[in-house]
Amino acid sequence: MDEAFVKLSRKITEWEWYTDANTFRVFVHLLLAVNWKQGRFRGVDIPAGSVPSSYSKISQQLEISVQSVRTAIAHLESTGELTSKGFNKFSIFQVVKWREYQSANKQSTNEQQTNNKRLTTIEEGKKGRKKEIDNTAETAKAVIDHLNSVSGKSFRYGDANIRPIKARLNDGFSFDDFKKVIESKNAEWSGDKNMSVYIRPETLFGSKFDGYVQATGNSAGQIDYFADCK
């Protein structure tokens, strides 16, 4: 039920009946009690924004005297907030600007839904980014582990070693690319005292990484070609 509640503007504090306790209570009570769609009561059509009731019933509901209810309704009718029509044993009370309250409420609801969607999107974005960061960190550690396993060295997960790996991951390279470069360069450099010192994250995963990856691809192709020719 989209129209099951209403919104009161802060400007209502400037309303002439705001400080009249009984008039204010009766108005808010009827505003909350009116039908949100057209209906019928004892053979009488009840328009949206109206409610069938009586002075005595409102008196009981609000626990104020019947005369106080009559006075309050007279106030509201005199300033155009309310109209009433009497029938046998009941009256129909209609809030004149009821649709404006619903319109304001609907707009507020839409705005709130939009804000909720924005917040949800932001939170989902944060979770997504956090997941990406977590995955990148885990992949970077796996690269270090593989480098240590292949080279026999003991590089740590320090920022200096992790940073170039994260940078290449952000460039779009995969874990397999790192494995190929590690295994290729270890095979090429490990037997050379001068080059073996460069089997390290700073060198392997720096600005020349793309070239190293391309070289591993070409090497693999040559090996396959000659294997087929044998």
**Whether the predicted pLDDT of 230 surpasses 60:** no
pLDDT in tens, 7-17: 777 788 888 88
- Span 63-91, mean pLDDT? 88
From 79-93, 117-131, 213-227, the region with the lowest mean pLDDT: 213-227
Query: Where is pLDDT greater, at 28 or 2?
Result: 28
pLDDT in tens, 150-191: 999 999 999 999 999 999 988 888 899 999 999 999 999 999
Other Cβ atoms closer than 10 A to 49? 23
Tell me what pLDDT residue 209 has.
92
pLDDT in tens, 25-69: 999 898 888 887 777 788 888 888 888 888 899 999 999 898 999
3-state secondary structure of 6: coil
Backbone angles phi, psi at 100, to 5 degrees: -65, -35
CB contact at 8 A, 50 and 40: no
Find the helix packing angle between 21-33 and 55-62, rounded to 10°: 110
Other Cβ atoms closer than 10 A to 48? 16
pLDDT in tens, 89-138: 888 888 888 777 765 444 444 555 555 666 666 566 666 566 566 688 88
pTM for this entry = 0.42
**Whether the predicted pLDDT of 1 surpasses 70:** no
Tell me what pLDDT residue 222 has.
36
Residues sharing a CB contact under 8 Å with residue 150, sequence separation 6 or more, in sequence order: 182, 183, 186
- Span 202-220, mean pLDDT? 82
Backbone angles phi, psi at 188, to 5 degrees: -80, -35
Which pLDDT band, with edges at 50, 70 and 90, does 202 fall under? very high
Tell me what pLDDT residue 216 has.
84
From 53-62, 68-77, 209-218, the region with the lowest mean pLDDT: 209-218
Report all structural domains of the chain as residue ranges with CATH numbers, in order of start.
10-96 (1.10.10.10), 131-229 (no CATH)
CB contact at 8 A, 58 and 69: yes
| Closest-CA residue to 71 (of 22, 15, 21, 12) | 22
